[in-house]
Every structure is written in C-alpha cells, then in structure tokens.
Structure 1
Amino acid sequence: MKKALLAALLTVVLVACATSPTGRRQLMLVSPDQAIAASRTAYIQQMQAFDEKGLMSKDQALIERIDQITGRLVAQAVQMYPHTADWEWSVAVIDDPETVNAWAMAGGRMAIYTGLIEKTDASDDEIAQVMGHEIAHALANHTAEKMSVAMATQVGILAVGISTNDNRAMAGAAAAALLAVNLPNSRTAETEADRIGIELAARAGYDPEAAASLWRKMGEVGGSGPPQFLSTHPAPGNRQETLAKLAPQMMPYYQAAQNPPVYPIKPGSY
C-alpha cells in the first residue's frame, strides 16, 4: 500500500507542472487558486495578530506614500498580467522599527515593515524595488510553488486542507501559506523576482538603478544579525552586479513612463 501511494504521489509530482512568467518549469501540486484561498485566510489571521499587538501603522503620511508607490506598481502588474485584476490587492504598513522585511502572499496581499524603510533610509525608488520584487513573487506563483514543494516532501494536513472544506484542515493550509512566505526562496525564484520586479518598477516610473542601491543598503544593515528580509530572500553574491546590468535595459521603460496610473490599493485590513 505504501509503495502504491508513493508511486501515485510520484506520478502526480511528475505531471503537476506549470510554467512561470519567465518560462521556468514549476512544480504545482497546489494550484494558484488554492494558494490564493489559503493565503487570504492566513493574511486575515496575520493582520488580526498585528492589530491586537498595536502594530498596524497609524502614520497616515507613510501609509499614503506606500499606497501610492504600490498602486503604481500594481497598475503595471495588472496591465501585464490581466488575470490579476481579480486579485484583492492590498498592502499593510507594519509599525515595527526593528524588523527589516516585506512580503507578498498569493493573490496580491502584501506588507512592509517600518524597519525596512527607516534602517535603509529608503527612497521612493528603492521602496518601489522592494514592493516590485514582492509583487513579482506573487505574479510568478512562488507561494503555490513553495507550498507544492512542502506538500511533495511532507504529505499530510496541507494536502487535506487544500482538498476539503474542513475548518481545521483549512487552518492547516493557511498556516502552510504563511509558512511559505517565511521560508527562504530558491535562488532561481529570487532571480526571477528580481527580473520581473525591476521591470514593473521601471514601467511604473521608478528609477531601475535604485535596485542595486537597495540591495547594497540591505547588506549594510547591521544589528544582531542580517535583516529578516535577507533570510527569506537569499542574495547571490553577484546580485548587485546583475541588477546593475539590468538597469540600462529597463531605462527605456522608465523614460517612457509618463503620468503612470495608480491602482486603487486596499488597506491591509481584515
């Protein structure tokens, strides 16, 4: 019986593949729609936890700044990937000056921490690179991909949660979605997000040269250890060099961006 189950699982793994926006083959045991559903539950739970701890920023000027930057990026994402117009795009600003982090879940739900903005003294162009990179992870279905890898290596509550309506099982799937956000991305996924993100930012009217300066600042952030952002976004040694080489290719998009549209972003609430 065990051999039959393993054989069946292997067959599913072999056939459950998809193609990323850059043409890369991806393991997709969890569909993008399933990842979006699980991520929605996880996001609501996470926002409730932040709210209970008083961590939802009340700095209206900062919130509007992030909404403006992210809205311009999302407008380009929706133009390039029309199916994402149905996503519930939202961004939360988390008032945590010690945490240097930002993330995006499947379906366009995002968060950025004040620590990232403050400790790097990030410009609008650099914030656009952060959020563009995160949006790229969502566009490339990286949450579903990481959940699929987890499912392939540990079949259990995740498999049950995404295939049933049982509340406890769905809670497990939501936990898996949140875990996927906090797990390190592969270098391939990071390179993919860098490439998609820098183009989104350039099309939205943000200087592509800020990508290299952002990662330089990230590497310089000190303290008791590296920023949490770098633990989930492992940086190849040549990342700054690669982004610097990409910048001239993105300049025509940046220079052509005239009065870029702003997509109406929802607050990161529940």
Structure 2
Amino acid sequence: MKKLARTSTLLLCLALPALPAMAQEAGVSVDRMSRLRGLVPEKQLEEQATMQYEELKQQARQKGVLAADTDPQLQRVRAISRRIIANATRWNPGASDWQWEINLIRADSVNAFCMPGGKIAFFSGLVDKLKLTDDEIAIVAGHEIAHALREHGRERVAKGNLLQLGANLGSAIFGLGQTGQMVVGQGAQLALLRFSREDETEADTVGLDLVARAGYDPRAGVALWRKMAMLEKSAPPQWLSSHPSGSNRIAQIQKTLPQVMPVYAKAVNAQSGALPPYRSNVQGVAPVQ
C-alpha cells in the first residue's frame, strides 16, 4: 500500500498547474522548468549521457566517420556553436559547469543533437543536404542546445518512468492483464509524443533567443524549415509525430520573431526596422522579412 500511495502521489504531479513564466528583460519568456525533473538525478543523467556520447564517438572513429579537429566543416560548426554557448547560463546557470563538446559525424543523416551536460553532435548530411548557411547552422545548434538547457531529456525520462508506473498500476488495479497493459502502454506512448512536441516548440523559442544574442539572424529558422519541406515531401501526421509539422513550426517561429529581432539588431549594432530581409542560398526559398 505504501508503494501504491507513493505512485499515486507521483502521478498527481502530472496534473499540477504550470509554474509562472520565466521572465527575461528582453527576448522571449517561457514557463519555468517542470518540477518532474527532480525525480531524475541531474548528475546521474549527465554521466550516462557522457558514457553514451563516448561510445558514439568510439564507434564513429572506428568506422572512420568522426571528423578530425582540423576538418573545416567541424571548425565551422564549433565556432558557431561556441558563440551560442556563450549565452547558455542565461537559461541555465548550471551550464557553466558543463564539459561542452562539439563533434561532427560524416554520415548522410539529416540530424543533430545536444545531450544533457552539453555533448553536441552534428551529422554532415544535415549541413550538406540542406546547404546550411552560418545563420541556419546557428538555428539548429540553438535549438539542440536549448533542449539541454531546458533539461528536456531529464524531464522526459521522469515522465516516461511515471507513465510506465501508471500503466503497471492500472493493469494491476483493474485486472487488465497483459493485453490491457499493452493498450495502456500505447496510450502512454501517445502522451509522451505530445510532451515531446511541447519540448520541440519550447526549444525552438529558446533557441531563437540564443541565436539572436549570438548575433545570428533568427529569421533563418523560417528559411531552414522551408528547405526541410523541399527535402522531405511527405511527413507523418502531426498527431503521430514527436515533432510539430513544418508549417506549424514556421508559424511559431514567425510569432516569436518580434520578440527576438530587437535582440538580434542590438547584437549586430543595427536598427531593428532597418535590417534587410534574410536571404537563404537555395533557389525557391523566399526572402524572410
């Protein structure tokens, strides 16, 4: 019964109202980070992430696809990412203690990530296939770094643990059996997908703030997703995807631009209203005002 009571208490946490918005004197503001993070030890998760990152690097090195420090594309990605990391403590003071690391894997995958604790990897397919400009690389880096700063990985692990506890508890209480537990588990999976889309939207928003402060054009986010739409003609319905649809993502970015463009203008010593349109480098991607 004690275990049941503890589990019920944890599940009730999911229904607690969101904390007040986290204010910034300029730029964007978002809700405070979820209290569910406290269910997963920060240092333990960072240590696990570091171990996985080292394994990934070792495998890439063995296959000859880990870019050398002298690789021009890696140097470019590192230079852009470091400018963004310089503003990281604004969103997470603990980031000052992270052992940041940025690497490039030569693979066709259109992907990038930042693990808890600041372990970043770019895949060359992302840069090459989308012909990313420096501003567009900054958008990707800012988004992935924002995931780490907002501790989405830690929160997602906590939610996953709670949902699995809920599935097991429901099966035991109502006598659902193995088949019933599978159905409950599928429901939990859909709930996680919804949480993940919320994380993606928040990472876009915080990422734009980071990008602007680093002196990169936040409007490149619109161009990036227009490029992505050209690359991927078909995508799963948004309600079955862990990411918002491209059109919704662009709309959210455009909604955020009025908050971050003055920050960007200040970073580049320009008047916000006098900035020229952002122009990408691919035909068919319209300039962004």
TM-score, with length taken from structure 1: 0.74
Provide, for residues 123-169 of structure 1, a one-character-per-residue CA deviation record: whole Å limited to 9, x for no partner.
Answer: 000010001000000011101011112222346xxxxxxxxxxxxxx
Residue 79 of structure 2 aligns with an amino acid whose one-letter code is: Q
* Residue equivalent to 2:79: 68
State the partner residue of 1:173. none
Q: How does 1:151-190 map to 2 (within 5 A)?
A: 151-154=161-164, 186-190=196-200
Match of 1:94 among 102, 105, 122: 105
Residue 192 of structure 1 corresponds to which residue in structure 2? 202
**Alignment partner, residue 149 of structure 1:** 159
Bigger CA radius of gyration: 2
Tell me the equivalent position of 1:117. 127
Moved more, 73-82 or 138-147: 73-82
In 2, distance between residues paired with 1:153 and 1:15? Answer: 12
Q: Which amino acid aligns with 1:67?
A: R
Unaligned runs of 5+ in 1: 156-182, 260-270
Partner residue, 2:218: 208
Deviation at 1:232, TM superposition (A): 5.4
Q: Does 1:133 align with 2:143?
A: yes
How many Å apart are 1:33 and its aligned residue?
Answer: 2.7
The structural deviation recorded for 1:250 is: 1.1
1:144 aligned partner, one-letter code? R
Is the CA contact (8 Å cut-off) linking 2:213 and 2:263 kept in structure 1? yes
The 8 Å contact of residues 187 and 236 in structure 1, kept in 2 or not, is answered as: no
What are the ranges of 5 or more consecutive residues in structure 2 without an aligned counterpart?
Answer: 23-29, 166-191, 270-289
The one-letter code of the counterpart of 1:197 is G
**Residues 1:105 and 2:103 are matched in the alignment:** no
Once the two structures are TM-superposed, the CA of residue 238 in structure 1 deviates from its matched residue by: 1.7
CA RMSD in angstroms comes to 2.8
2:23 aligned with 1:23, yes or no? Answer: no
Which residue in the other structure is 1:54 paired with?
Answer: 64
Deviation at 1:242, TM superposition (A): 1.7
Shift in Å at residue 226 of structure 1?
A: 5.7
State the one-letter code of the partner of 1:30. V
Q: Name the CA distance, whole Å, in 1 between partners of 2:247 and 2:2.
A: 43
Give the residue type in structure 1 aligned to 2:149. L
Structure 1 residue 219: deviation in Å?
2.1
- Equivalent residue for 1:220? 230
What letter matches 1:152 in structure 2? L
Identity level (%): 39
2:9 is the alignment partner of 1:7: no
Give me the whole-angstrom Cα distance separating, in 2, the residues matched to 1:46 and 1:103: 12
Q: What's 1:244 paired with?
A: 254
Q: Secondary structure at 1:207's aligned position in 2? A: coil
Q: Shift of the alpha carbon at 1:252?
A: 1.4
Query: In structure 1, how many angstroms separate the alpha carbons of the residues matched to 2:79 and 2:33?
Result: 34
Aligned to 2:287: none
Deviations 1:5-50 (A, max 9, x none): 2332232344598969622562222133332122111111121121
Q: Secondary structure at the match of 1:62?
A: helix
CA distance in 2, matches of 1:90, 1:52: 19
TM-superposition CA deviations, 1:23-80 (whole Å, max 9, x none): 2562222133332122111111121121122120236211110111000000011344
Match in the other structure for 1:85 = 96
Q: Secondary structure at the match of 1:186?
A: helix
Distance in 1 (CA, whole Å) between partners of 2:45 and 2:124 is: 27
The TM-score normalised by the length of structure 2 is 0.70
Q: How many residues align?
A: 226
Shift of 1:258: 4.8
- Deviations 1:170-225, CA, capped at 9 Å, x for gaps: xxxxxxxxxxxxx96622111110110001000000001101111111222148x7
